Amino acid sequence: MSEIKAVTFDLWDTIVHDDSDEPKRRELGLRNKRDERRQLVWEALNAIEPIDYETVSLAYDVADAGFNVAWKEDSINWRLEQRIRVILNGLGRSLPQEAFDHVVERTGAMEVEVPPDAIEGIAWALGELKQRYHLAIVSDAIVTPGTGLRELLARHGVRDLFDGFAFSDEVGRSKPHRSMFESAAEQLGVELDEIVHIGDRDHNDVKGPHAIGAKAVLFTATRDNDRATTTADAICDHHFDLPAIIDRLARH
């Protein structure tokens, strides 16, 4: 049996609480993220040639649906600029490069400028685990690109605790594809079966690691939908319990 040398982490609902930024946006008088993304594309297009907001919003919905099929069924991650280009192509429109870049930049910056909350205990758990294991992020980048997600981790004071980052927009595939875990293993200098992965979704964060010989812990503090059916090696309800769980798995 291989020695456990590394721990990899999903980001959404494992390190940060997904959509916990939405109440903050409301307090600041900002649109929710969904509406703001559509507003950015509409404003850019409408400034050049008038177009109905509803038309842009529908094109955005269709592009999102296409993204979800590629992401969930084929483990392919379109980069943010590709998603915006699909919307424009569907509308038969284009943007000058400066305007296009502005839309991409503003869309990708939302969760950095108004960040979701870190999950209680994560900084402490990472600090404890860092003393005994290599650490890396293995996470899908759904809208915010990997560059922005690194900044989000820095905002919460934990980026420097990680030795590697496998973000799906940079790897080109999404979990549970083995390429995501292979990227992290290569960066950490470990074998796949020397990894324990932590995440909140059984399909991505448990079945994915198990398929390549790694162990997996289902994290349930913010999302416990998969608790009853998971095949995880362990379940973690709170980050304060995580170091002991990892150490126990490392002994077996």
The string of pLDDT tens digits covering residues 36-53 is 999 999 999 999 999 999
Residue 100 has what pLDDT? 98
Residue type for position 88: L
| Domain 6-19+117-250: CATH architecture, name and number where available | 3-Layer(aba) Sandwich (3.40)
Domain locations in the chain? 6-19+117-250, 22-113
How far from the centroid of its chain's Cα atoms is residue 104's Cα? Answer: 17
Q: Are 138 and 174 in contact (CB under 8 A)?
A: no
Residue 1 has what pLDDT? 56
Bridge partners, residue 118, by sequence: 16
Residues of the chain with pLDDT under 70: 1
> Exposed/middle/buried for 224, CB within 10 Å: 0-12, 13-18, 19+?
middle
pLDDT tens track for 56-72: 999 999 999 999 999 99
End-to-end CA distance of the chain: 8
Q: H helices within the chain, ranges in order?
A: 22-27, 33-46, 53-74, 80-91, 97-113, 122-130, 146-155, 168-171, 178-188, 208-211, 242-250
Residue 2 has what pLDDT? 76
Sheet holding 6-9, edge to edge: 164-167, 134-139, 6-9, 195-199, 215-219, 234-236
